[in-house]
Amino acid sequence: MYKISVITPTIREDGLKLVETALKKQDMQFFEWLICSKQKPKRIEIPYIWLEDDFVGKTWTLNRAYNKLIKNAHAPLIVSWQDFTYSKFDTLGRFLTHFEQDPNVLVGAVGNKYKTVYPELGAMVWSDPREREDQGTYYKTGFENVEWNLAAIPKKALYDIGGFDEELDGFFGMDGYSVAERIHFIGGYDFALDQSIKSYSVVHDRPIDWEEKGAIHGPYQERQQYYLQNGPVLQYLKQ
Protein backbone atom coordinates (compact mmCIF):
# COMPACT_ATOMS: atom_id res chain seq x y z
CA MET A 1 0.00 0.00 0.00
CA TYR A 2 1.27 3.46 -0.86
CA LYS A 3 1.98 5.79 2.05
CA ILE A 4 2.56 8.88 -0.09
CA SER A 5 1.21 10.10 -3.41
CA VAL A 6 3.71 12.41 -5.08
CA ILE A 7 1.87 14.66 -7.54
CA THR A 8 3.50 16.74 -10.29
CA PRO A 9 1.54 18.94 -12.69
CA THR A 10 3.75 20.15 -15.52
CA ILE A 11 3.89 21.86 -18.88
CA ARG A 12 7.68 21.33 -19.05
CA GLU A 13 8.66 17.69 -19.57
CA ASP A 14 12.36 18.54 -19.31
CA GLY A 15 11.77 19.57 -15.71
CA LEU A 16 10.59 16.08 -14.71
CA LYS A 17 14.03 14.48 -14.91
CA LEU A 18 15.20 16.37 -11.84
CA VAL A 19 12.19 15.14 -9.86
CA GLU A 20 12.83 11.59 -11.06
CA THR A 21 16.47 11.78 -9.99
CA ALA A 22 15.42 12.78 -6.49
CA LEU A 23 12.66 10.17 -6.23
CA LYS A 24 15.01 7.36 -7.25
CA LYS A 25 17.22 8.21 -4.29
CA GLN A 26 14.53 8.36 -1.60
CA ASP A 27 15.03 6.10 1.40
CA MET A 28 11.23 5.73 1.68
CA GLN A 29 9.99 3.95 -1.44
CA PHE A 30 6.35 3.29 -0.50
CA PHE A 31 5.09 6.03 -2.79
CA GLU A 32 3.40 6.49 -6.15
CA TRP A 33 4.24 9.26 -8.59
CA LEU A 34 1.43 10.87 -10.56
CA ILE A 35 2.18 13.26 -13.41
CA CYS A 36 -0.38 15.43 -15.20
CA SER A 37 0.84 16.84 -18.53
CA LYS A 38 -0.32 17.46 -22.09
CA GLN A 39 1.84 14.69 -23.52
CA LYS A 40 2.90 11.43 -21.88
CA PRO A 41 6.51 11.79 -20.66
CA LYS A 42 8.90 9.78 -22.81
CA ARG A 43 12.15 9.83 -20.87
CA ILE A 44 11.06 8.75 -17.38
CA GLU A 45 12.56 5.45 -16.24
CA ILE A 46 10.88 4.88 -12.87
CA PRO A 47 7.22 3.85 -12.51
CA TYR A 48 4.67 6.66 -12.72
CA ILE A 49 1.00 7.21 -13.43
CA TRP A 50 0.28 9.59 -16.29
CA LEU A 51 -2.88 11.69 -16.35
CA GLU A 52 -3.58 13.71 -19.47
CA ASP A 53 -3.91 17.45 -19.12
CA ASP A 54 -6.75 17.70 -21.63
CA PHE A 55 -8.17 20.94 -20.31
CA VAL A 56 -8.81 23.83 -22.68
CA GLY A 57 -9.74 27.46 -22.27
CA LYS A 58 -8.67 30.00 -19.67
CA THR A 59 -5.12 31.21 -19.11
CA TRP A 60 -3.62 27.96 -17.88
CA THR A 61 -4.64 24.59 -16.45
CA LEU A 62 -2.74 24.24 -13.18
CA ASN A 63 -5.70 24.15 -10.79
CA ARG A 64 -7.62 21.67 -12.92
CA ALA A 65 -4.50 19.51 -13.23
CA TYR A 66 -3.98 19.51 -9.47
CA ASN A 67 -7.58 18.41 -8.89
CA LYS A 68 -7.21 15.59 -11.40
CA LEU A 69 -4.06 14.42 -9.63
CA ILE A 70 -5.70 14.58 -6.20
CA LYS A 71 -8.72 12.60 -7.40
CA ASN A 72 -6.43 9.83 -8.64
CA ALA A 73 -4.09 9.73 -5.64
CA HIS A 74 -4.34 6.60 -3.50
CA ALA A 75 -2.31 7.50 -0.40
CA PRO A 76 -3.51 9.46 2.66
CA LEU A 77 -0.58 11.88 2.36
CA ILE A 78 -0.01 13.93 -0.76
CA VAL A 79 3.33 15.53 -1.57
CA SER A 80 3.22 18.34 -4.12
CA TRP A 81 6.56 18.09 -5.92
CA GLN A 82 6.79 20.45 -8.85
CA ASP A 83 9.06 20.19 -11.87
CA PHE A 84 12.64 21.49 -11.88
CA THR A 85 12.86 20.72 -8.14
CA TYR A 86 15.34 18.41 -6.46
CA SER A 87 15.55 17.32 -2.83
CA LYS A 88 17.68 14.97 -0.77
CA PHE A 89 17.19 11.26 -0.08
CA ASP A 90 15.31 11.63 3.22
CA THR A 91 12.63 14.09 2.08
CA LEU A 92 9.69 11.71 1.75
CA GLY A 93 10.67 9.92 4.95
CA ARG A 94 10.67 13.19 6.89
CA PHE A 95 7.30 14.22 5.46
CA LEU A 96 5.86 10.83 6.39
CA THR A 97 7.19 11.05 9.95
CA HIS A 98 5.49 14.41 10.47
CA PHE A 99 2.23 13.01 9.10
CA GLU A 100 2.36 9.94 11.33
CA GLN A 101 3.00 12.14 14.36
CA ASP A 102 0.32 14.67 13.40
CA PRO A 103 -2.09 13.82 10.54
CA ASN A 104 -3.59 17.32 10.64
CA VAL A 105 -0.55 19.37 9.66
CA LEU A 106 0.60 20.73 6.29
CA VAL A 107 4.40 20.78 6.12
CA GLY A 108 6.44 22.89 3.74
CA ALA A 109 10.08 22.64 2.73
CA VAL A 110 12.43 25.59 2.28
CA GLY A 111 15.01 26.19 -0.40
CA ASN A 112 16.67 28.49 -2.88
CA LYS A 113 16.72 28.67 -6.67
CA TYR A 114 19.84 28.06 -8.73
CA LYS A 115 21.03 28.10 -12.33
CA THR A 116 21.80 24.39 -12.06
CA VAL A 117 21.16 21.87 -9.31
CA TYR A 118 22.25 18.34 -10.17
CA PRO A 119 24.87 16.93 -10.29
CA GLU A 120 26.49 20.22 -9.33
CA LEU A 121 24.94 23.18 -7.53
CA GLY A 122 25.29 26.27 -9.69
CA ALA A 123 25.02 29.94 -8.85
CA MET A 124 22.14 30.95 -6.57
CA VAL A 125 19.67 33.30 -8.27
CA TRP A 126 17.04 33.56 -5.52
CA SER A 127 17.32 33.19 -1.76
CA ASP A 128 14.34 31.84 0.19
CA PRO A 129 13.42 34.38 2.91
CA ARG A 130 11.81 31.58 4.92
CA GLU A 131 15.18 29.93 5.54
CA ARG A 132 16.18 30.66 9.12
CA GLU A 133 17.75 29.00 12.13
CA ASP A 134 16.43 31.04 15.05
CA GLN A 135 13.21 29.03 15.44
CA GLY A 136 14.64 25.53 15.29
CA THR A 137 14.40 22.87 12.62
CA TYR A 138 10.65 22.28 12.73
CA TYR A 139 8.02 24.76 13.84
CA LYS A 140 4.42 25.82 13.27
CA THR A 141 3.87 28.83 11.05
CA GLY A 142 1.21 30.73 9.11
CA PHE A 143 -0.59 29.15 6.16
CA GLU A 144 1.00 31.63 3.78
CA ASN A 145 4.46 30.13 4.36
CA VAL A 146 3.72 26.72 2.83
CA GLU A 147 5.01 26.75 -0.76
CA TRP A 148 3.67 24.12 -3.13
CA ASN A 149 6.86 23.46 -5.05
CA LEU A 150 7.62 20.94 -2.28
CA ALA A 151 5.10 20.38 0.50
CA ALA A 152 3.16 17.59 2.22
CA ILE A 153 -0.62 17.88 2.60
CA PRO A 154 -3.07 15.42 4.17
CA LYS A 155 -5.42 14.30 1.39
CA LYS A 156 -8.34 14.71 3.78
CA ALA A 157 -7.60 18.43 4.10
CA LEU A 158 -7.83 18.85 0.33
CA TYR A 159 -11.17 17.06 0.23
CA ASP A 160 -12.40 19.07 3.20
CA ILE A 161 -12.11 22.28 1.17
CA GLY A 162 -13.11 20.77 -2.17
CA GLY A 163 -9.78 21.05 -3.95
CA PHE A 164 -8.04 23.76 -5.92
CA ASP A 165 -10.08 26.72 -7.12
CA GLU A 166 -10.45 26.15 -10.86
CA GLU A 167 -11.67 29.73 -11.35
CA LEU A 168 -8.06 30.76 -10.75
CA ASP A 169 -7.05 29.07 -14.01
CA GLY A 170 -8.19 32.32 -15.60
CA PHE A 171 -5.14 34.02 -14.08
CA PHE A 172 -1.57 33.21 -13.06
CA GLY A 173 -0.56 32.46 -9.49
CA MET A 174 -2.13 32.29 -6.00
CA ASP A 175 -3.20 28.68 -6.57
CA GLY A 176 -1.60 26.94 -3.62
CA TYR A 177 -2.10 30.06 -1.54
CA SER A 178 -5.85 29.77 -2.07
CA VAL A 179 -5.85 26.13 -0.95
CA ALA A 180 -3.87 26.85 2.20
CA GLU A 181 -5.94 29.91 3.04
CA ARG A 182 -9.21 28.00 2.69
CA ILE A 183 -7.86 25.15 4.85
CA HIS A 184 -6.94 27.82 7.39
CA PHE A 185 -10.50 29.20 7.19
CA ILE A 186 -12.18 25.88 7.99
CA GLY A 187 -9.85 25.23 10.94
CA GLY A 188 -8.66 21.94 12.37
CA TYR A 189 -5.31 21.97 10.59
CA ASP A 190 -1.89 23.42 11.39
CA PHE A 191 0.88 24.62 9.10
CA ALA A 192 4.58 24.03 9.65
CA LEU A 193 8.00 24.42 8.07
CA ASP A 194 10.78 21.87 8.36
CA GLN A 195 14.07 23.64 7.79
CA SER A 196 15.82 20.28 7.38
CA ILE A 197 13.82 19.51 4.23
CA LYS A 198 15.52 21.49 1.48
CA SER A 199 14.29 22.07 -2.04
CA TYR A 200 16.81 22.88 -4.76
CA SER A 201 15.03 24.41 -7.72
CA VAL A 202 16.32 25.37 -11.15
CA VAL A 203 15.12 28.79 -12.22
CA HIS A 204 12.98 28.76 -15.36
CA ASP A 205 11.10 31.35 -17.39
CA ARG A 206 7.55 32.40 -16.67
CA PRO A 207 4.99 33.27 -19.38
CA ILE A 208 5.64 36.72 -20.78
CA ASP A 209 2.22 37.94 -19.63
CA TRP A 210 2.64 36.63 -16.06
CA GLU A 211 2.47 40.06 -14.45
CA GLU A 212 -0.33 41.29 -16.71
CA LYS A 213 -2.53 38.30 -15.91
CA GLY A 214 -1.40 37.72 -12.34
CA ALA A 215 -4.20 36.90 -9.90
CA ILE A 216 -2.45 38.83 -7.15
CA HIS A 217 -3.26 42.12 -8.92
CA GLY A 218 -6.96 42.09 -8.12
CA PRO A 219 -8.65 38.87 -9.21
CA TYR A 220 -7.56 37.01 -6.12
CA GLN A 221 -9.12 39.61 -3.87
CA GLU A 222 -12.40 38.95 -5.68
CA ARG A 223 -12.03 35.22 -5.00
CA GLN A 224 -11.37 35.96 -1.32
CA GLN A 225 -14.64 37.88 -1.17
CA TYR A 226 -16.35 34.89 -2.75
CA TYR A 227 -14.91 32.61 -0.05
CA LEU A 228 -16.06 34.99 2.67
CA GLN A 229 -19.58 35.27 1.26
CA ASN A 230 -20.12 31.67 0.15
CA GLY A 231 -17.73 29.74 2.34
CA PRO A 232 -14.25 28.36 1.62
CA VAL A 233 -15.45 24.87 0.62
CA LEU A 234 -15.68 24.33 -3.14
CA GLN A 235 -17.07 21.29 -4.94
CA TYR A 236 -14.42 20.28 -7.44
CA LEU A 237 -13.38 17.03 -5.76
CA LYS A 238 -16.99 15.88 -5.49
CA GLN A 239 -17.61 15.97 -9.22
CATH of the domain at 50: 3.90.550.10
Q: Which residues of 123-139 are buried (b: 16+ CB within 10 A; e: fewer)?
A: eeeeebeeeeeeeeebe
CA-nearest of 8, 89, 88 to 44 is: 8
Whole-model pTM?
Answer: 0.96
| pLDDT for the residue numbered 210 | 87
Nearest 10 degrees: Cα torsion 137, 140, 146, 152: 80
Q: What distance in Å separates the CA atoms of residue 132 and residue 136, rounded to the nearest whole number?
A: 8
Q: How many domains in the chain?
A: 1
Give 21-64 as a 3 state SS string.
Answer: HHHHCCCCCCEEEEEEECCCCCCCCCCCEEEECCCCCCCCCHHH
User: Domain residues for 216?
Assistant: 4-238
CA pair distance 234, 37, nearest whole angstrom: 24
Q: How far apart are CA 143 and CA 85, in angstroms?
A: 21
**Residue 114's pLDDT is what?**
97
Which segments of the chain are extended strands (E)?
A: 4-9, 31-37, 49-52, 77-81, 85-87, 105-110, 113-114, 124-126, 138-140, 150-154, 190-202
What per-residue confidence (pLDDT) applies to 217? 87
**Torsion, CA 96, CA 97, CA 101, CA 107, rounded to 10:** -60
Which residues does 198 contact at the CB level (< 8 Å), separation at least 6?
Answer: 87, 88, 109, 110, 111
Could you list the pLDDT tens digit for every one of the 239 residues in the chain?
899 999 999 999 999 999 999 999 999 999 999 999 999 999 999 999 999 999 999 999 999 999 999 999 999 999 999 999 999 999 999 999 999 999 999 999 999 999 999 999 999 999 999 998 776 799 999 999 999 999 999 999 999 999 999 999 999 999 999 999 999 999 999 999 999 999 999 998 888 898 899 999 899 999 999 999 999 999 999 85
Contact at 8 Å (CB) between 185 and 227?
A: yes
pLDDT at 207: 84
pLDDT at 239: 57
